[in-house]
Amino acid sequence: MSGPGTAGTGRFAAHVRGARESGALVVQPRMGFAGAGRMREGLRAVRDVAAPTAGTVTVDSYTRVGEYARALEALRSGTELNGFPLVAHGVDGTRGVLDGLASADFPVQVRHGAARAERLVATACAAGADATEGGPVSYCLPYGRVPLRESVRAWSRCCELVAARAEPMHLETFGGAMLGQLCPPSMLVALSVLEALFFREHGVRSLSLSYAQQTHPGQDLEALGALRRLAGERLGGMDGADGAVDWHVVLYTFMGVFPRSAAGAFRLLEESARLAVRGGADRLVVKTPAEAHRIPTVEENVGALEFASAVAADERARARTRPVPVPGRYGVYEEAVLLVDRVLERAPTVGAALERSFAAGLLDVPYCLHPDNANRARAVVDPWGVLRWADPGRVPLPRRAGSGPEPEARGPVGSRRLLDMLGFNARRFDAEDVLGRRLADGAAA
């Protein structure tokens, strides 16, 4: 592997690679504040955590959908925003937030959610951000009604902006976190790999592939293994040597309905940190126990980062004496590789292949209401937490996986069942908290 200072990879990739070589997990918050001073305060606190961290500047909702004038008006009037209005602050204002904080030891990523992101990405590039995230599918389908073909063209230009910068900028695909939950792992893995191939097609040489924790630890472990395997087959080695891309895998702590109890939330975060280590992820984007109630404070973000890092270190120490086998019973790799191959067969470019595959229903994200998504496929969480296809629609699956749904996956998915599935992790981890308190009360009696 090339060293941290290797030309052409950029300091975000070098920072993650350095942590990997030292046996550590990079932890990162999802944090954004409207004011420049508050944003700097948050970044400084994350930088000073006693663990390898990456900084985050998460933009606000107005900026995400291109309503820059409303974001600027809110900033000037002091109206509360749910993130940093990067375009309203402009290049100079954003650079002022990053100067003296962003560095080789603490790279900063801009996270946003925009389908038409050219102006936002151009501002981030010019301001000196080390990384951003997105993708033509993952930043289009969940967030609005921008036509997929427009998002593909917009993200082609975004990739070219990233690739053209003198100091290499890192780009993370959000494909493995589509809708946060209720999308089968094989579809998440396939979309993550396809968007990574799209990035490479447009000149990006430093990228990461994402996966979001779902509802079953064994299935998630298998999905991370499938993602790493498929990325290695399609993108090559992980160090960017010989013209290949430099890539790594990032795991998101569960992005759905969070446990309401602090103990339940910490248990969910613990499970994600252990999963990241067991599954070979190099970076973990964490959530905090405040997620079920409000936007977390800087202090709560720092606490979650410290907790996740400590759990990851504990899990790594355990793994030295008790290696964790990667299960293969759920067929995630077999489904994902078939999906990727079938999509790429449809057109000479990845962008065109994505458009045609969604139009044909070959790619179909369950419960996604975007007009360019067929929304025929359905998935269910079974009683054990396994996320299964209930009806794949036109999505091609291997015969073993697609011969028919398991008995527990059958039946209509009405609103009550959908809400029940969405709350699976919240109930599971809150129930652990209740049981733990009952046992403690019994022992004290």
Residue 32 sits in a domain of what CATH number? 3.20.20.240
Is 285 within the bounds of a domain? yes
Is 345 within the bounds of a domain? no
Please, what is the angle between helix 185-201 and helix 332-344, to 10°?
Answer: 40
Q: Give dist(CA 443, CA 425) in Å, integer.
A: 27
> What is the three-class DSSP state of 85?
coil
Is 397 within the bounds of a domain? no
Is 3 within the bounds of a domain? no
Is 370 within the bounds of a domain? no
Instruction: Count CB-CB contacts under 10 A for residue 105.
Output: 13
The total number of structural domains in the chain stands at 1
Q: Which two tokens stand for residue 307?
A: 């907790």
Q: Which two tokens stand for residue 248?
A: 């790594």
Per-residue pLDDT for the chain (445 aa), expressed as one digit of tens each?
A: 333 344 467 999 999 999 999 999 999 999 999 999 999 999 999 999 999 999 999 999 999 999 999 999 999 999 989 999 999 999 999 999 999 999 999 999 999 999 999 999 999 999 999 999 999 999 999 988 999 999 999 999 999 999 999 988 999 999 999 888 899 999 999 999 999 999 999 999 999 999 999 999 999 999 999 999 999 999 987 665 666 789 999 999 999 889 999 999 999 999 999 999 999 999 999 999 888 788 899 999 999 999 999 999 999 998 776 666 667 789 999 999 999 999 999 999 999 999 999 999 999 999 999 999 999 999 999 999 999 999 999 999 997 654 455 555 666 777 888 889 988 889 999 987 655 555 445 555 5
Q: Give dist(CA 75, CA 383) in Å, integer.
A: 47
Where in 40-168 does DSSP place strands (E)?
55-58, 108-111, 131-134
Predicted TM-score (pTM) of this structure: 0.92
Is 1 within the bounds of a domain? no
Where in 122-276 does DSSP place strands (E)?
131-134, 170-173, 206-212, 246-252
252-273 CB burial, b ≥16 within 10 A, e <16: bbbbbbbbebebbbbbbbbbbb
The residue assigned the tokens 């720092």 is 302
pLDDT of residue 180: 80
Beta-carbon contacts of 370 under 8 Å, excluding residues fewer than 6 positions away, are 140, 141, 142, 144, 145, 148
Is 362 within the bounds of a domain? no
For residue 167, what are the domain limits?
Answer: 10-321
pLDDT of residue 417: 86
For 302, which DSSP code? H
Is 392 within the bounds of a domain? no
pLDDT of residue 433: 60
Q: Which two tokens stand for residue 420?
A: 């029940």
